[in-house]
């Protein structure tokens, strides 16, 4: 399995103002590409707390960071519990925090989670944290829109098989800006009357059928300006399944609270809605609790964008705790 290539690596290292002995939290450890360089820059005694919701990411990161021994503390958890984790691990003072949202390349390409519409045989899962289970009891209703308290627990298959047409339409619109949200939601509800949609291919087939009908074409895949018709629905489902915007909103205040005075927070987003949340939150706290270091987000150089396509949508924002 190829290792994930960290985006904006040099920019992140510079952003965090690293030096020997500094303690850093990586909220999205992944394949530990950023973390490994952070450990080098804080050697010999700086510590790193590496958090990831995905047990397999933690296992891989342990292998990559083996040589750093007890300088690293691993935590399989959702970063939305940041303050509790820091307390339990007694990890203080905190000089730097990194967040690099979304999926890692092995998760997307090779781990059978159903993140990619191209992997038609994979189960429709899309959770980062596969430990959580979708439990329905008489007292706990199944899914509302982003149905708290069930977010993050239900697979994408459970979402598409259980949500109402209206709820699905809203998810596709809100998180994917999918133009055919209504038609796709209606087609899903019709299809699942016969059998449950279980695989990536089951959902892709429904989406392609809707597009073929709309565009009056027989083409197997009616590409739209080079984009696969399932792209937006898959993005929307992943965001909804993991409540990706909600966790960002909840973690940012905790990160600022957790930082020591003069500590730095570096946040990388890959989506305009994510970036807007970060930008607005930072603005709301500027000159009160923090100083904004990046008036405009840092983006990848031409060379990085060329070498690593994922970096093309990356935006890095940095603040310093007052
Ligand atoms: C883009 S990857 C990080 C890559 C990493 N910086 C590297 O250099 O390899 C994002 C990671 O964050 C994890 N993740 C996503 N949402 C999370 C959440 N709410 N809590 C904890 N981890 C999460 C994913 O499982 C994934 O491993």
Residues 188 and 234 in one domain: yes
Q: Confidence class of residue 149 from pLDDT cuts 50, 70 and 90?
A: very low
Cα diameter, the chain: 64
- Mutational test site, ligand 1, from 60, 82, 97, 104, max ligand atoms within 8 Å of CB: 104
Residues 134 and 213 in one domain: yes
Residues 310 and 265 in one domain: yes
Residues 77 and 226 in one domain: no
Residue 270 CA: nearest ligand 1 atom is 1
Q: Confidence class of residue 107 from pLDDT cuts 50, 70 and 90?
A: confident
- Is 1 inside a domain boundary? no
- Is 31 inside a domain boundary? yes
The distance in angstroms from the start CA to the end CA of the chain is: 42
Residues 13 and 37 in one domain: yes
Question: How many whole angstroms from 101 Cα to the centroid of ligand 1?
Answer: 6
- What is the distance between the alpha carbons of residues 1 and 287, in angstroms, rounded to a whole number? 45
Task: Write the CATH number for 34.
Answer: 3.40.50.150
Average pLDDT, the chain: 92
Question: How many whole angstroms from 102 Cα to the centroid of ligand 1?
Answer: 6
Task: Write the CATH number for 140.
Answer: 1.10.150.170
> Which amino acid residue places its CA nearest to atom 3 of ligand 1?
30
Boundary of a domain, candidates 222, 241, 260: 241
Amino acid 134: pLDDT: 56
Residues 26 and 80 in one domain: yes
How far are the Cα atoms of 52, 123, 157, 221, 287 from residue 201, in angstroms, in the given order? Answer: 28, 9, 11, 13, 50
The set of residues, in sequence order, having a beta carbon less than 8 Å from that of 207 and lying 6+ positions away, is: 184, 187, 229, 230, 233
Is 50 a pocket residue for ligand 1 (Cβ < 6 Å)?
no
Residues 156 and 84 in one domain: no
Amino acid 138: pLDDT: 46
Q: Which residue has the tokens 């994917």?
A: 176
Mean pLDDT: which of 31-45, 114-128, 130-144, 232-246 is highest?
A: 31-45
Residue 152 CA: nearest ligand 1 atom is 19
Is 106 a pocket residue for ligand 1 (Cβ < 6 Å)?
no
Amino acid 154: pLDDT: 82
- What is the distance between the alpha carbons of residues 254 and 259, in angstroms, rounded to a whole number? 9
| pLDDT value at 307 more than 80 | yes
Tokens read off for 87: 């307390």
Is 176 a pocket residue for ligand 1 (Cβ < 6 Å)?
no
The set of residues, in sequence order, having a beta carbon less than 8 Å from that of 318 and lying 6+ positions away, is: 15, 264, 265, 266, 267, 292, 293, 294, 298
pLDDT in tens, 56-80: 999 999 999 999 999 999 999 999 9
3-state secondary structure of 298: strand
66: containing domain? 9-106+244-321
- Is 84 inside a domain boundary? yes
Question: How many whole angstroms from 220 Cα to the centroid of ligand 1?
Answer: 34
Residues 235 and 252 in one domain: no
- What is the distance between the alpha carbons of residues 237 and 255, in angstroms, rounded to a whole number? 27
Boundary of a domain, candidates 241, 264, 295: 241
Amino acid 132: pLDDT: 60
Is 151 a pocket residue for ligand 1 (Cβ < 6 Å)?
no
Residues 146 and 230 in one domain: yes
Boundary of a domain, candidates 217, 241, 265: 241
In terms of Cα–Cα distance, which of 87, 89, 122 is closest to 107? 122
The answer to whether 271 touches 124, Cβ cutoff 8 Å, is no
Least confident of 29-43, 121-135, 165-179, 279-293: 121-135
Is 104 a pocket residue for ligand 1 (Cβ < 6 Å)?
yes
Question: How many whole angstroms from 187 Cα to the centroid of ligand 1?
Answer: 33
Backbone angles phi, psi at 40, to 5 degrees: -65, -40
Residues 55 and 33 in one domain: yes
Question: How many whole angstroms from 180 Cα to the centroid of ligand 1?
Answer: 30
Is 74 a pocket residue for ligand 1 (Cβ < 6 Å)?
no
- Is 176 inside a domain boundary? yes
Residue 268 CA: nearest ligand 1 atom is 1
Q: Confidence class of residue 135 from pLDDT cuts 50, 70 and 90?
A: low
- pLDDT (mean) for 288-309: 97
In terms of Cα–Cα distance, which of 268, 250, 248, 259 is closest to 320? 259
Mean pLDDT: which of 109-113, 154-158, 179-183 is highest?
A: 179-183
- Is 112 inside a domain boundary? no
Percentage above 90 pLDDT, the chain: 81
Question: How many whole angstroms from 99 Cα to the centroid of ligand 1?
Answer: 8
Question: How many whole angstroms from 51 Cα to the centroid of ligand 1?
Answer: 8
Domains contained in the chain, number: 2
- pLDDT (mean) for 93-114: 91
Residue 26 CA: nearest ligand 1 atom is 6
Answer whether the bond into residue 93 is a cis peptide, omega within 30°.
yes
Is 32 a pocket residue for ligand 1 (Cβ < 6 Å)?
yes
- What is the distance between the alpha carbons of residues 148 and 201, in angstroms, rounded to a whole number? 28
- What is the distance between the alpha carbons of residues 63 and 76, in angstroms, rounded to a whole number? 15
In terms of Cα–Cα distance, which of 132, 107, 104, 109 is closest to 119? 109
Tokens read off for 167: 């709820």
Question: How many whole angstroms from 100 Cα to the centroid of ligand 1?
Answer: 6
Residues 100 and 134 in one domain: no
| pLDDT value at 94 more than 70 | yes
């Amino acid at each position: 399995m190829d290792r994930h290539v960290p985006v904006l690596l040099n920019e992140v290292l510079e952003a965090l103002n690293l030096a020997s002995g500094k303690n850093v939290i990586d909220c999205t450890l992944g394949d530990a590409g950023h973390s490994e360089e952070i450990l080098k820059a804080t050697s010999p005694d700086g510590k790193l707390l590496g958090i990831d919701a995905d047990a397999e990411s933690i296992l891989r990161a342990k292998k990559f960071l083996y040589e750093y021994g007890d300088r690293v503390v691993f935590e399989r958890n959702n970063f939305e519990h940041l303050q509790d984790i820091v307390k339990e691990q007694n990890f203080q003072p905190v000089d730097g925090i990194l967040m690099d949202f979304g999926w890692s390349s092995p998760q997307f390409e090779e781990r059978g989670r159903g993140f990619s519409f191209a992997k038609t045989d994979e189960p429709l899962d899309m959770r980062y944290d596969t430990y959580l289970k979708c439990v329905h009891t008489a007292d706990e209703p199944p899914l509302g829109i982003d149905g708290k308290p069930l977010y993050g627990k239900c697979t994408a298959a459970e979402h598409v098989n259980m949500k109402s047409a209206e709820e699905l339409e809203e998810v596709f619109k809100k998180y994917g800006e999918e133009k055919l949200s209504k038609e796709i939601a209606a087609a899903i509800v019709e299809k699942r009357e016969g059998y449950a949609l279980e695989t990536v291919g089951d959902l892709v087939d429904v989406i392609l059928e809707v597009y073929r009908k709309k565009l009056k074409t027989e083409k197997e895949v009616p590409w739209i300006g080079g984009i696969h018709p399932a792209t937006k629905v898959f993005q929307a489902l992943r965001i909804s399944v993991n409540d990706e915007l909600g966790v960002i909103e909840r973690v940012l205040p905790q990160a600022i609270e957790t930082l020591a005075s003069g500590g730095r927070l570096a946040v990388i987003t890959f989506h305009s809605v994510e970036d807007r949340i970060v930008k607005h939150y930072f603005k709301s706290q500027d000159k009160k609790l923090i100083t904004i270091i990046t008036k405009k987000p840092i983006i990848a150089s031409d060379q990085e964008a060329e070498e690593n396509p994922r970096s093309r949508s990356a935006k890095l924002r940095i603040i310093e705790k007052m």
